């Protein structure tokens, strides 16, 4: 790509297309916290009551051994 375009390294990327990116040694975390806060401010939802996530967040998701694979291109 460097052969076709003028490029320079700007260091580790922390924001990209409104996504906040945090890189660790063995994984990458992507969130939209700042974008969501901006939208909430824009529409006046900064002082509303929040709700917890309606799903167990501490248990890992496991594959159903009897389940059928889905077409990833369908969705």
pLDDT in tens, 24-75: 888 888 899 889 899 999 999 989 888 887 777 788 878 888 988 888 887 6
Specify whether the CB–CB gap between 23 and 34 falls below 8 A. Answer: no
Per-residue pLDDT, averaged over 1-30, amounts to 80
- What is d(CA 42, CA 31) in angstroms, rounded to the nearest whole number? 19
Element (H, E) at 37: helix 33-42
pTM exceeding 0.85 = no
């Amino acid at each position: 790509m460097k052969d076709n375009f003028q490029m320079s390294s700007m260091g580790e990327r922390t924001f990209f297309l409104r996504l906040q990116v945090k890189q660790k040694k063995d994984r990458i975390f992507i969130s939209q916290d700042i974008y969501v806060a901006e939208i909430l401010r824009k529409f006046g939802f900064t002082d509303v009551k929040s709700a917890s996530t309606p799903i167990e967040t501490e248990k890992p998701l496991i594959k159903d051994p009897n389940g059928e694979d889905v077409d990833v291109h369908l969705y």
